[in-house]
Amino acid sequence: MTKFTDLTLPEPILRAARDLGFEKPTPVQALTIPWLLENNSDLIALAQTGTGKTAAFGFPLLSNTDIESKSVQSLILCPTRELCLQITKDLQAYAKYLPRVKMVAVYGGAPIYKQKEALLAGAHIVVGTPGRVNDMIRQNVLHLQEVNQLVLDEADEMLNMGFKDELFEIMSHIPESKQTLLFSATMPKDVEHLANSFMKGATRLSAGGEDKGAENIEHFFYKVQARDKYLALKRIADMSPKIYGIIFCRTRNETQDIANKLQQDGYNADALHGDLSQAQRELVMQRFRSKYVQLLVATDVAARGLDVDDLSHIINYHIPTDPDIYIHRSGRTGRAGKSGISISIMHSKEAGALKAVEKRLGREITWQKVPGGREICQKQLFHFIDSVEKVEVDEEQIGTFLSNVYKKLSWMTREELIQRFVAVEFNRFLNYYKDIPDLDNPVQAKRQEAKKDFKFSTFRLNLGSKHGLTKRDLMRYVNQLKVSRGIEIGQINIFGDYCLIELDSNYESELLQAFVSNKYKGVTVEASVGKAPKTQHSSKDDWKERRKTKKIDDYVDHDTTYYGRNIWEGTPKKGKDKPGFKGKKKIAPDSKTKRKKTP
């Protein structure tokens, strides 16, 4: 394992890294730092969010800075002011023992004159958002003729935010000979295009592939009616009394609205969005960082640059239509070896987006039933009792008050006492959650539940495309066997002279019998069961395999679940009517938790 000391970094930087508690380089640092110390050609580095990209470029940048020069030598561009401040702060920490290196942050939404003054006083490294950087160039306070290193941090996000033209504009002021470093968590087409436009023969380094969402993140979705989303959100939060997470909303209005409602309902929640002043935003972020605020309701843009490492939950109030955004969001939990939970609260029209995200993640997102009142009360009660067990009691202080209390309560038994004391804390909660309705569509919920431990057997039949067999024909044929109502059909693959079809393994022998005694269009059917019945497709590899067998799409509507269909329901339904994606149910997120607020 590489150590920082192996990286031929200057001693002051090594010392700063030690002060920061950086013991060894992260994978992206181990790859890029030595490379950057040796090369001055262009670089594209891909690594997940939270993997230490700032130091990956920051350490070499600082090592290369010529403090005798008075010109700007490095320009770091990033999408938001929060990120800009964050990077500057990080670089300052890395340069703790290099006090003569001057850094200036230039970003919108703050008075320009101070930043101008700072630039005029001289800077070796400028960290900026594209719009403000261009302003500074136009106003002739930022001169980039001597820049030899340009960093595009979070390039994907800069393009998402529409900074393409600004970037090209800035580029035209920087010498051709510069070294360009592009850092990104994802590499969508437009970033590829950007890289091709102004980077030449760039080396690509990828630390553990692109941002696919760390393995230690669990992904769940809940499916409710659009109007029930807020209720579902509350129940999810109540199910995890120790929740510490970000709820992502689409618009500033929605963000504020949800935060207001949560606050009114007694949650530690606050909103972070672009309508707030810089000072307000900073206050909110500070309250969130210190965990005074447990639930931060935010837009994507506003949440950028909020460097919080130990989020327990990411909640998508709507599943994003761009899978990269989903990955970015969920990448904010499960960091630093901790586990995380990424939740999407969906209504049926968002199913297409879910599929796109699953494809991008390379794994299934698991359906979860919206917690019911009983479950939530149990969880909260347990949490409450747990905190009673753990509370510190200052016997000396409290003891002086207690003798009268003991006397007053002496007529009660221990059990009565416990009952009352739980009731005091808990009655409002119980009342709220008494008889609350199920938020899941009952039909879908039943179907999803049934699929939890479902097993398919793979049948091989001597019928194939040469018999004119289509998937629809095959479904019909199986349907006509009338072995039992509600047999689940899994994946179907049709080849030249045979086909494979997955069917409910509970009916294996009956189905085999029925196949061989029912001709198909005059053909005597031979049937066998292939592999041992396998469990529900859930492992990552299995899922990838499934994705490769695209053929099934000929049969079903593109947006339709193609296995686990109840064949007695007739032809697959389209769009919003389609059955939810099935998945294995997992235990509810978070089990030992706190919150005593009543909803």
Q: Which residues bind ligand ADP (CB under 6 A)?
A: 22, 25-26, 29, 47, 49-55, 307, 309
What's the closest the beta carbon of residue 246 comes to Mg ion, in angstroms?
A: 17
Residue 378 phi/psi, 5-degree rounding, is: -60, -45
The smaller minimum CB distance to ligand ADP, of residues 328 and 565, is found at: 328
Please list, residue by residue across 189-223, b when 16 or more beta carbons sit within 10 angstroms of its beta carbon and e when fewer do: eebeebbeebbeebeebebeebbbbbeebbbbbbb
Q: Which residue is nearest to Mg ion (CB)?
A: 53
| Cβ at position 309, least distance to Mg ion in Å | 13
- Chain residue at closest Cβ approach to ligand ADP: 52
| Residue among 54 and 256 whose Cβ is closer to ligand ADP | 54
Helix (H, G, I), strand (E, B) or coil at 459: strand
User: Is 57 or 454 the residue whose CB approaches ligand ADP more closely?
Assistant: 57
Out of Mg ion, ligand ADP, none, what residue 101 binds, judged by CB under 5 to 8 A for its kind, is none
What is the closest distance, in whole angstroms, from the C-beta atom of residue 155 to Mg ion in the complex?
A: 11
Structure tokens at 435: 């008889």
* Other CB atoms within 10 Å distance of the CB of residue 37: 14
Tell me the window of 52-60, 155-163, 319-327, 529-537 that interacts with Mg ion (CB under 5 A): 52-60
Q: Letter for the amino acid at 88? A: T
* Residue 458, binding choice from Mg ion, ligand ADP, none, Cβ under 5 to 8 Å by partner class: none
Supply the angle between the helices 373-390 and 414-433 in degrees, to the nearest 10. Answer: 140
Binding mask 260-289 for Mg ion (x = CB under 5 A): ------------------------------
Contact between 456 and 465 (Cβ < 8 Å): no
Nearer to ligand ADP, 7 or 345 (CB): 7
- Binding status of residue 229 toward Mg ion by CB under 5 A: no
Nearest approach in angstroms of CB 589 to ligand ADP is 24
How many residues form the binding site for Mg ion (CB under 5 A)?
A: 1
* Helix, strand, coil share (%) of the chain residues, nearest 5: 45, 15, 40
| Cβ nearer to ligand ADP, comparing 87 with 503 | 87
From 320, 252, 277, select the one nearest 81 (Cα to Cα). 277
Residue 576 CB, nearest approach to ligand ADP (Å): 37
Least spacing, CB of residue 207 vs ligand ADP, in Å: 9
Taking the complex as a whole, how short is the minimal distance between the CB of residue 30 and Mg ion, in angstroms?
17
Min separation Cβ 23 and ligand ADP, Å: 6
Residue 467 binds Mg ion (CB under 5 A) = no
CB of 206 to ligand ADP, least distance (A): 13
- The DSSP-derived string for 70-132 is -S--EEEE-S-HHHHHHHHHHHHHHTTT-TT--EEEE-SSS-HHHHHHHHHT--SEEEE-HHH
Q: Which stretch binds Mg ion (CB under 5 A): 20-28, 53-61, 101-109, 367-375?
A: 53-61
Cβ atoms of 496 and 464 closer than 8 Å:
yes
- 65 makes contact, choosing from Mg ion, ligand ADP, none, with CB < 5 to 8 Å by partner type, with none
Residue 569: DSSP 8-state: G
Ramachandran class of 590: left when φ > 0, alpha when ψ lies in -120 to 50, beta otherwise? left
Pick one of ligand ADP, Mg ion, none as the site partner of residue 51 (Cβ within 5 to 8 A by kind): ligand ADP
CB 178 within 8 A of CB 149: yes
CB nearer ligand ADP, residue 184 or residue 448:
184
Nearer to Mg ion, 158 or 354 (CB): 158
How far is 78 from 152, CA to CA, in rounded Å?
A: 6
Q: Residue 81 touches which of ligand ADP, Mg ion, none (CB < 5 to 8 A by kind)?
A: none
- Pick the stretch among 49-57, 131-139, 501-509, 563-571 that binds Mg ion (CB under 5 A): 49-57
Cα distances from 426 to residues 272, 384, 421, in angstroms, run 31, 9, 8
**Shortest CB 485 distance to ligand ADP, Å:** 53
According to DSSP, the β-strands at 149-152 and 179-184 are: parallel
Start-to-end CA span in the chain (Å): 49
Q: Give yes or no for residue 53 binding Mg ion (CB under 5 A).
A: yes
Nearer to Mg ion by Cβ, of 135 and 211: the residue is: 211
CB of 244 to ligand ADP, least distance (A): 16
HSE-CB at 172 with a 13 A cutoff on CA atoms is 8
Helix 81-94 with 278-289: angle, nearest 10 deg: 60
Binding-site ranges for Mg ion (CB under 5 A)? 53
